[in-house]
Amino acid sequence: MILIVDDTPENLISLKKVLEKHDFEVDTASSGEEALKKVLKNEYVLIILDVQMPGMDGFEVAEAISGYSKAKETAIIFLSAANTELKFITKGYSSGGLDYITKPVDMGILLLKVKTFYRIYEQSRKLIEIQKALMDEIEFRKKAEHKKDEFISIASHELKTPLTSVKGYVQLLGRSIDKGDLETVKKHLQKAEVQLEKLNDLIADLLDISKIESGKLKFNKKNFVMDDLLDSIIEIMHQSNPEFHILKEGHAPQEIFGDEMRIEQVIINFLTNAMKYSPGTSEIKIVVRFENAGVYVGVKDYGIGIDTEQQKSVFDKFYRVEETAIHFQGLGIGLYISAEIIRRHGGEVGVKSAIGEGSEFYFHIPLISPTDPD
Ligand code: ADP
């Protein structure tokens, strides 16, 4: 928008008319004071400013405007009666572009100048946009680098913990064998096995991540029955976590074409999280039903829950809810891998949750998922 500032109404009207005829949006002010008020409120590409006005003159207005951050890109064309005034023109104004036209105004020249300033304004806008996009990109890459470093440090720690335990149990085993204490040997062996299993799961997850990155995560799809898979998972999980009751609600006796081991991995991941993020509770529900030519499976816990804002990000790579991350161990990759597995079955994942009430992590896959293109 252009602001014309002139104390003579006829000048205002005639300039306004010409500019509007050439499709420019025009605003007017009949004094310097009024112009300053308008500049504070609106954004102008260009101000056409009469130099000689009672009260504030054009130069004073320009000087004041130069202090407004809002008018940083605004150009000014002075309308001056005589060339002698022009030596004052550069005084005080150093923000946007600057030019002048002597009175009586040659409309052809004025239009040319207006168009040029508009073009410059648009180009500088574009440059600012590009600069902003570049800054955002740089910031993103920093952040990404920082996330990677953080991940490496967490991953090393997570791998080291079970490894240190295994080392300890092996030493104890040696001592128990020397003593011939077979009962203790068995106990230590079992404990070492649990830690080795943890290590194995962590390494498998890390391998999955790199397979996803390189597009090498392969699926072995066959027919299986979701009900049977769920029953077997519940039995296994119950054995390793007897403190939790896992109840199944609903049925899905239909055959599904998919990678049973990978779907099992997703459900176990949901269940492991359900237990991990629900301290002090002992019940988990698995909801299963046939729906929209596919199967819905939801794992419902009564734990800490996740707020709406964070729910959007939990399936992102390396994402962990910051407020709770220090209380629970994890790498923030399980849900990312799960989402990728379900996506590759033509399905979708999601979560319904409320802070302090618990969460239901779910997926829906079609009965027949698409086969991989390769
Ligand atoms: P990890 O548990 O190793 O951190 P995940 O990818 O499995 O990684 O989960 C990502 C994040 O989502 C977790 O760090 C946690 O903040 C949140 N989350 C996952 N499952 C639950 C759950 N059942 N209840 C509350 N928060 C959860």
And the tokens for 372? 């991989």
Number of H helices and E strands in the chain, helices first, is 10, 12
Q: What pLDDT, on a 0 to 100 scale, did the predictor assign at position 322?
A: 86
Cβ of 274 closer than 6 Å to ligand 1, yes or no, is yes
CA 44: distance to chain centroid? Answer: 33
Distance (Å, rounded) from C-alpha 169 to C-alpha 175? 10
The reported pLDDT for the residue numbered 93 is 54
* H/E segment holding residue 253: none
- From residue 43, give the alpha-carbon distance in Å to each of 31, 36, 67: 18, 12, 14
Position in ligand 1 atom list of the atom nearest CA 304: 25
Q: For residues 204 and 334, what is the distance between their CA atoms, to the nearest angstrom?
A: 11
- Mutate which of 335, 357, 359, 363 for ligand 1? The one with the most ligand atoms within 8 Å of its CB, which is 335
Biggest distance spanned by C-alpha atoms of the chain? 113
102 Cα–ligand 1 center, Å: 70
Name the residue among 79, 68, 64 with its Cα closest to residue 7.
79
Whole-angstrom Cα distance, residue 43 to residue 34?
15
Ligand 1: distance of its center to the CA of 147 in Å? 17
Q: Range(s) for CATH 3.40.50.2300 in the chain?
A: 2-105
Instruction: Identify the CATH class of 2-105.
Output: alpha beta
| Beta-ladder partners of 223 | 257
- Quote the pLDDT of residue 249: 98
pLDDT of residue 92: 46
The string of DSSP codes covering 277-310 is T-TT--EEEEEEEEETTEEEEEEE--SS---HHH
- Six-digit token string for 103: 């009175």
Residues 6 or more apart whose CB falls under 8 angstroms from that of 142 comprise none
Question: Are the CB atoms for 82 and 108 separated by under 8 Å?
Answer: no
Contact call for residues 360 and 180 (beta carbons, < 8 A): no
Which residue has 């504070």 as its token pair? 40
324 lines ligand 1 (CB under 6 A): yes
Q: How far is residue 107 CA from its own chain's centroid?
A: 51
Parallel, antiparallel, or unpaired: how do β-strands 222-225 and 255-258 relate? antiparallel
Quote the pLDDT of residue 87. Answer: 56
Q: What share of the chain is helix, strand, coil (3-state, %, to 5)?
A: 50, 20, 30
222-366 domain in CATH 2.40.430.10?
A: no
Write down the residue that tokens 């998919």 correspond to. Answer: 258
Q: Where along the chain do the CATH 1.10.287.130 domains lie?
A: 144-214
Q: How far is the CA of 327 from the centre of ligand 1 (A)?
A: 12
The b/e string for 226-265 (b: 16+ C-beta within 10 A; e otherwise) is bbebbeebbeebeeeeeebebeeebebeeebbbbbebbbb
Q: Where in the chain is the domain with CATH 3.30.565.10?
A: 222-366
Residue nearest to atom 20 of ligand 1 (CA): 273
Cα 214 to averaged position of ligand 1 atoms, centre (Å): 24
What is residue 6's DSSP assignment? -
Does residue 104 have a cis bond before it (omega within 30 degrees)? yes
Which pLDDT belongs to residue 145?
87
Spatial CB neighbours of 3, under 8 Å, sequence gap ≥ 6: 26, 27, 28, 29, 35, 38, 39, 42, 44, 46, 47, 48
- Secondary structure (3-state) at 254: coil
**304 ligand 1 Cβ < 6 A:** yes
Residues 6+ apart with CB under 8 A from 64: 36, 56
Spacing, Cα 162 to ligand 1 middle (Å):
20
Cα 65 to Cα 358: distance, rounded to the nearest angstrom: 56
Hunting for tokens 């050439």 — which residue is that?
A: 22
Neighbours of 120 (CB within 10 A): 16
Q: Which CATH number fits domain 144-214: 3.90.226.10, 3.90.550.10, 1.10.287.130, 3.20.20.80?
A: 1.10.287.130
Give every residue of the chain whose pLDDT is below 70, as ranges: 82-97, 372-374
